[in-house]
Amino acid sequence: MRVPSILLAGVALVATAASSRAQNVVTNPNFDSALAPWAGFGSTAPDPTGSGAASWTSAHNLDNLPGSGSSDTTLTGLAGQPANASFGIRQCIALPGGPLSVTEARYEASFLARAADNPTDGLGNATVQVRFFSDASCTNFIPGAGGSQGVNLTNGLILDDTQWWTIGDPQFLPPGGAITASSAEVSAFIRTVNTTSNGYHVFFDRFILSLNGTAPVELLGFEVQ
């Protein structure tokens, strides 16, 4: 069944109710019992310093499965905090069979931003990102080989106590048509979009990174403008 979708500023934003696993190179994409190998991280210079916390929780998960969970992620509010301060989670993935020629990638993550947990100023943003590296430990970034998609946490649409949303890019194309990569870093984070003293609180779940036209068995009906 096709799920309803909403497009905001060119971002494919999909109301989500199902899980997909096949052809996914992400480890622990569904947070079934722990946060690891995901790790929390905050933004650093040249961006403003971001602080917060990330932990595994069983309180909310995309599939409502007993024992499964999600990443409970918080960006701490600080007085006068400028735009692009962020905190989130990330993991480095050694690509199977790497070094690997990558001609396209699909990446996505789902999130829940509860109205009960967040201010309604719209100055928080949930973002998912992928970056490719020439080495196996996500150290040597390949110039231009990264992409991100995000959506502002606006009242009356995104902020909802039960609705999960999916953001991502169904066909990221590397610079020059192809790159040779040995690893990829997948991350999701909350960031400020303007100066605000408020903090924000998001649950992240079900990450996907598939390469070179492989796709999860259950597609989610993405649309692009």
Looking at residue 67, which CATH number applies to its domain? 2.60.120.260
Cα gap 139→79, rounded to integer Å: 33
* Alpha-carbon distances, residue 143 vs 62, 90, 169, 180 (angstroms): 34, 19, 19, 12
8, part of any domain: no
Residue 91 lies in a domain: yes
pLDDT of residue 216: 54
Strand ranges across the sheet with 183-192: 39-42, 86-94, 183-192, 124-133, 141-152
Round the CA-based radius of gyration of the chain to a whole number and report it.
Answer: 17
pLDDT in tens, 173-200: 999 999 999 999 999 999 999 999 999 9
- Distance of alpha carbon 187 from alpha carbon 19, whole angstroms: 18
Domain assignment present for 218: no
Task: Mark the ranges of the chain whose per-residue pLDDT is less than 50.
Answer: 1-11, 17-22, 217-225
Which of these, 148, 135, 219, lies nearest to 183 by C-alpha position?
A: 135
pLDDT at 23: 86
User: Looking at the 3D structure of the chain, how many domains does it have?
Assistant: 1
* Position 129 in a domain: yes
Domain range for 193 is 15-211
Question: Does residue 223 fall inside a structural domain?
Answer: no
Q: Is the dihedral of CA 150, 32, 106, 101 positive or negative?
A: positive
With a CB cutoff of 8 Å and minimum separation 6, the contacts of 57 are 69, 70, 71, 72, 203
Q: What is the model's pTM?
A: 0.86
Let me know if residue 54 belongs to a domain. Answer: yes
Examine residue 10 and state whether it is found in any structural domain, yes or no. Answer: no
